[in-house]
Structure 1
Amino acid sequence: MEKFSRKKRILCFGDSNTWGFDASTGERFSESVRWTSLLQEAYGEKVQVIEEGLSGRTSVFQDPLFEGVCALDYIHPCILSHSPLDVVVIMLGTNDTKERFRATSYNIAQGIVRLAQKTAKALEAQENNCVVIIVSPPPIHENYRHTEIFEAMGEACDRKSNELGERLATLIAQHPFEFVDASHIPMNTIDYMHLDEEGHKLFAQLIFNKLESLLKK
């Protein structure tokens, strides 16, 4: 990141896959594993990577079972508290597929774009321009149906998750946001909806490549 004339700040805003949930232990992956930490390691001291992951976080949906997980309610103070920012990476949508929200894949994409719009609005107070990157998360595999997580998630999560990338790409084309499709990165083989150690490596490289391509423009 030699092209940066000062230390840049990258906010990584997401759910449990940004927090670093380890499905094999039910705890958090160490800093040596999490994709946010790997991104920090790749850039070194010239960049500050800010982790803003929360398990269960949704884009715009209020969860009747868990308080404080709606990103739309939190994004404005989050942006202000971490300013100044140069890049905001938003990866949400996995929790939005839960059956209890009764949202289509198109509705989920609409919610993520609405969140990005609110993010951009909060960033207007900054003097510098900040890039907002929307990431379509790795999709939930159909085998989640055979795990304990199925009862909590409900039906059709895999279908909606697999449709999300195309929905987002179509909607984002109408807005000044950058887009990354992570649909090729597999989830783990435990609950089929969280990244494993290899998945964190692949995802970190994907985001690094995207950032590098933006810097060359």
Structure 2
Amino acid sequence: MKTILAYGDSLTYGANPTGGTRHAYQDRWPSVLEAGLDGQARVIAEGLGGRTTASDDWYAAADRNGARILPTLLESHGPLDLVIIMLGTNDLKPAVCGSALEASYGMRRLVQIIRGQAAGKGETAPEILLVAPPLICQSENVDMMGHFGGYAHGLEQSGQFAAHYARRAEELDTLFFDAATVAQADPEDGVHLNAANTRAIGEALVPVVRQVLGL
């Protein structure tokens, strides 16, 4: 059986845009992906709200720096056949980073960590899939929009994810998928996904993962 690590933020955690609840287990995209692989792979969901690619968020209680915690997770969950990374939305917060381009550099750092750790142990590195997150949309949620420097900034920068991440994927010879082609943020808060859009990401990734892992 293959082992896949789904590494992300609240969109991987399954945060519900209508409140502080979490989507049901079966509606989270890692769960949907695993179900679609018909028992041929196990998908480990590592989603943390507020997680960035490689930047510190000093307002957060837990460590949100994705680059700092990743080596520990690679050790605890390995060996891995595939790592799917869907991060970058929280990087767009001006207080954290503010730029989709810089987020793509953070994704590059995560790829380097995965491959460097495998090389250091003399192991074959897992396949890596970079996923551009869905776009931020307009919302009346003043606090959420404020986190992202206002709707205009959030929309502009999230709209650049696909181009920057596709370029990093080509540069680093990884796989690439644009989640914005299948999922849209909920206007309730402009960032998080309803259950249907969360499931849509898992469903869309099934054929991609089947192909790369030969399932």
TM-score, with length taken from structure 1: 0.90
Instruction: Classify the secondary structure of the residue corresponding to 2:128.
Output: strand
Amino acid at match of 1:34: R
Instruction: Describe how 1:27-106 pairs up with structure 2 within 5 A.
Output: 27-66=21-60, 67-106=62-101
Quote the residue 1:121 is aligned against.
116
Paired residue total: 210
Quote the residue 1:182 is aligned against.
179
Instruction: Describe how 1:6-45 pairs up with structure 2 within 5 A.
Output: 7-45=1-39
Structure 2 residues not aligned, in runs of 5+: none
Counterpart pick for 2:167 among 156, 165, 170:
170
Amino acid at match of 2:157: K
Quote the residue 1:132 is aligned against.
128
TM-score, with length taken from structure 2: 0.90
Cα distance, 1:128 vs structure 2: 4.2
d(CA) in 1 for partners of 2:156, 2:18: 24
After the TM superposition, list the runs of 4 or more consecutive aligned residues in structure 1 that deviate by more than 4 angstroms.
Answer: none
Q: CA RMSD in A?
A: 1.8
Amino acid at match of 1:43: L
Instruction: Describe how 1:145-156 pairs up with structure 2 within 5 A.
Output: 146-155=141-150, 156=153
Quote the residue 2:157 is aligned against.
160
Q: Percent same amino acid among aligned pairs?
A: 27
Quote the residue 1:3 is aligned against.
none
d(CA) in 1 for partners of 2:203, 2:15: 19
Amino acid at match of 1:17: L
Contact 2:114 2:125 in 1 (8 A): no
d(CA) in 1 for partners of 2:71, 2:155: 30
Structure 1 residues not aligned, in runs of 5+: 1-6
Please list the CA deviations of residues 138-171 of structure 1 after superposition, one character each: whole Å capped at 9, or x if unmatched: 1111x13654312333231221111111011122
Quote the residue 1:191 is aligned against.
189
